[in-house]
Amino acid sequence: MSSSKFRTAGFVVALCLGLAGGGAARAEQAKFILDQDFAGPGGSDLQPILFFMHNPDAQLLGLTGVTGDEWMNKGVAQALRFLEIAGHSEIPVYQGALMPLVNTPARLANWEARYGALSWKGAWNKPETDGTKPGFDPSAVPQLAEANPTIKPQGTFAVAFLIEQVHKYPHEVSIISAGPATNIALAVRTDPQFASLVKRLYLTGAPKANFDPVSGKAVSQDAFNSIFDPEAAHIVLTAGFPSIVATGLVTSDVVVDDGLINDIKTGSPALTEYLTKNAWKDLPMWDEITTAIAIDPTLATRSADVFADVDTSDGPERGQFITYGDKSAPEGAGKISVVLDLDKARFRDMFLKAVAAQ
């Protein structure tokens, strides 16, 4: 064999080995789906996507949109535009539930009239966008401040995608539920096997500052995701997922400040400008923290395992988490691990490294 043929053969063998090795590496990547209410531009609903870009250890199978902080269709458009600016248009985005399972703007307004106004109602914050004004179309996508995307969402419904992926990769897919749990609940109700096939479910929210893992109810009106769709949260918590991690206690531990904004630099000037211009200054990094813990669970330095459910009554604690100790838990309550402490310095470093990698 000539030296040139030897080199060619060697190249082919090396290429095959490289492809095989790459395939093995990809197979070992942790698999995730981010289910999110993509308000924007910028901020905590979109920035979690950065953790998956150029990450050899984590594979983002797709993004699924739901109404919460923003109406679903507008949020999905903002996610698509974010992916364009970041140079990752290949990540698939799926449209999900437009409305909660039971809740409506009128029902929530009636609840507020009896028990007091909520500080945040997401897509329903303003009368002109809460869906009650004649002529308003909640499924319409307005002109976005950051420009509308040129790429389109996938044709498959988010719930069908969720079910498809956990059957394709049984016990391998972790789902990050960073908005109201409507899509996840619909998947549970659609497919009896769905919950059991998920590796782990991560929730932004759950018991917060006055959470007591022994005494019971956690009363705080900042549990937006479960207040927006209490029935979905109840279904998800009691569905029998093998593992649920709730990050409500620590998602306010790191706030976007001037130092963090000044440290944001990427390889793309357009993305750097987008992130810094649209930073949610003085607000916590709620969903970034949940996502970072999902990718690197060692960021959670202390946790407590409890049983939990969500109040679905029409009373003053509707949408609030109820927690129980082992001896006081009613039948059907879901077991969850609540993160109590976060390695804040390492999280900040992880976020900035994810940004710089772009």
pLDDT average, residue stretch 167-193: 98
Residue 287: inside a domain, yes or no? yes
Residue matched to tokens 């790459």? 22
- Return the higher-pLDDT residue of 5 and 304: 304
Domain containing 286 equals: 29-356
- In whole numbers, what is the pLDDT of the chain averaged over residues? 89
Q: How far apart are CA 153 and CA 155, in angstroms?
A: 7
Give CA 21 to chain center in angstroms: 31
The pLDDT of residue 292 is above 50: yes
pLDDT of residue 345 exceeding 60: yes
**The pLDDT value given to residue 154:** 98
| Residue 12 located in a structural domain | no
- Count up the domains in the chain and report the number: 1
- In a domain, residue 8? The reply is no
Enclosing H/E stretch for 341: strand 334-342
- Please report the beta strands in 106-203, taking only residues with DSSP state E, as ranges in sequence order: 173-177, 200-203
Q: Per the domain annotation, does 213 fall within a domain?
A: yes
Percent of the chain having pLDDT more than 90? 75
Instruction: Output the pLDDT for position 342.
Output: 96
Q: How confident is the model over 245-278, as pLDDT tens digits?
A: 999 879 999 999 999 999 999 989 999 999 999 9
pLDDT at 163: 98
Q: Residue 304 corresponds to which amino acid?
A: A
Average of pLDDT values for 302-328? 88
Residue 260 contacts by C-beta under 8 Å, 6 or more apart in sequence? 279, 348, 351, 352
The CATH number assigned to the domain holding 303 equals 3.90.245.10
pLDDT of residue 222: 61
Asked if residue 236 is part of any domain, the answer here is yes
Contact 289, 253 (CB under 8 A): yes
pLDDT at 207: 62
Buried b (16+ CB within 10 A) or exposed e, 320-333: bbbbbeeeebeeeb
Residue located via tokens 């043929």: 5
What's the pLDDT score for residue 47?
A: 98
Structure tokens, 137: 């179309």
pLDDT of residue 297: 97
Q: What is the pLDDT of residues 329-341, one digit of tens each?
A: 888 888 999 999 9
> Under DSSP, is residue 38 helix (H, G, I), strand (E, B) or coil?
coil
pLDDT at 95 over 90: yes
pLDDT band for 204, please (50, 70, 90 cuts): very high
Q: Please report whether residue 17 resides in a domain.
A: no
Nearest to 53 by CA among 44, 67, 63: 63
pLDDT band at 5 (very low <50, low <70, confident <90, very high): very low
Residue 328 or 142, more confident: 142
Global pTM value: 0.89
Residue 3 lies in a domain: no
Does 273 map to a domain?
A: yes
- The percent helix, strand, coil of the chain (3-state, each to 5) is 40, 15, 45
Question: What pLDDT does 208 receive?
Answer: 54
Sequence-ordered list of residues with C-beta below 8 angstroms from that of 161, at least 6 positions apart, any chain: 33, 62, 64, 92, 94, 154
| Token reading at 195 | 């919950």
